[in-house]
Amino acid sequence: MDRLDVERAMHGDRDAFATIVAETADRLYRMARLILRDGDRAEDAVQEALVRAWRELPRLRDPARCEAWLRRMVVNACYDEGRRVRRRAEVSLVGVSEIHAGDGIGSFIESERIAHAFRRLPLEQRAVLVLHHRMGLSHPEIAESLGIPLGTVKSRLRRAHDTMRAGLDADDRVGEEARKWTA
């Protein structure tokens, strides 16, 4: 991201802001989509965060850290959106169209198991997993992006791994029981 664009946008240049959005919106949307597990809601969260970013840009302290600041905006918008989403009755339904023709049913089931365990994580733990495992950020970079202490990043990541593993193990036990009954 060009520092000059950031500085211009901080002084109200809409074209410079458009350049920033064009460069970052795709990455931010993908991050939000993984955290929220829903394309429409991710769109809402990124839209809300970017509108807020435009408004708050003059208060950005360090233009060099603009992308981390935008990430924080989007993650916070994901938290808000996640709370709002829960007002609907969320039922886990997998449409037939989501099963890709080339996928084996085994890999599909495996993917659904992981998705199920991931969905059960609190949004805060989902966010650190996505920033670490998908966006490849280091612990200090995650701390900066989320505005939390380094120790909190590490403990949150550890808890997320523990919860994912416990969820997948529990699914395994349920699967074993089901296989016994259907054998």
Partner 1 sequence: MSPRDDLRAVDGLERVVEDWMVAEDVAGAPDRLYEAVFARTSRIGQARRRPWPALGRSAWAVAAVVVAGTVAIVALLLATGVPRPPAVAGPGPAATATPAATVLPGGIPPSATPAVELVREPVCAEPSALVAAGVDAPGGLWLTCTDGARWVTLPDATAVSPAIGGVGLVASDGADTWAMTADGIVRLGPPGVRIGATVPVPGATALAVGSGAVWVATRDGTLVRVDPSTGRTTARVAVGSRPVAVLAAAGSVWVAARGDGMVVRVDPRTAAVIERIPAGVGPSALAAGAGAVWAASPTDGVVTRIDTGTAAIRRVSAPLPDDKGGISGLAASQEAVYIAVRETLFRLDPATGLAIASVRLSGYPAAMAVDGRDPWIAFERDLRTSVGALVRLRVP
CB nearer partner 1, residue 11 or residue 180: 11
**Ramachandran region of residue 37, left (φ > 0), alpha (ψ -120 to 50) or beta?**
left
* Non-local CB neighbours of 1 within 8 Å, separated by 6+ positions: 20, 23, 24, 66, 67
Closest to 3 in 3D by CA, of 64, 91, 94: 64
Please enumerate in sequence order all residues whose Cβ is within 8 A of that of 146, keeping only pairs 6 or more positions apart, or say none: 72, 75, 127, 128, 131, 153
Least CB distance to partner 1 at residue 79 (A): 6
Which residues contact partner 1 (rule: CB under 8 A)?
Answer: 10-12, 14, 17-18, 21-22, 25-26, 28-30, 33-34, 39-40, 43-44, 46-48, 50-52, 54-59, 61, 69, 72-73, 76-77, 79-80, 83-91, 93, 110-111, 114-115, 118, 122, 129-130, 133-134, 147, 161, 164-165, 168-169, 172
Q: How far is the CB of 157 from partner 1 (least distance, A)?
A: 10
Task: Supply the minimum distance, in Å, between the C-beta of residue 182 and partner 1.
Answer: 19
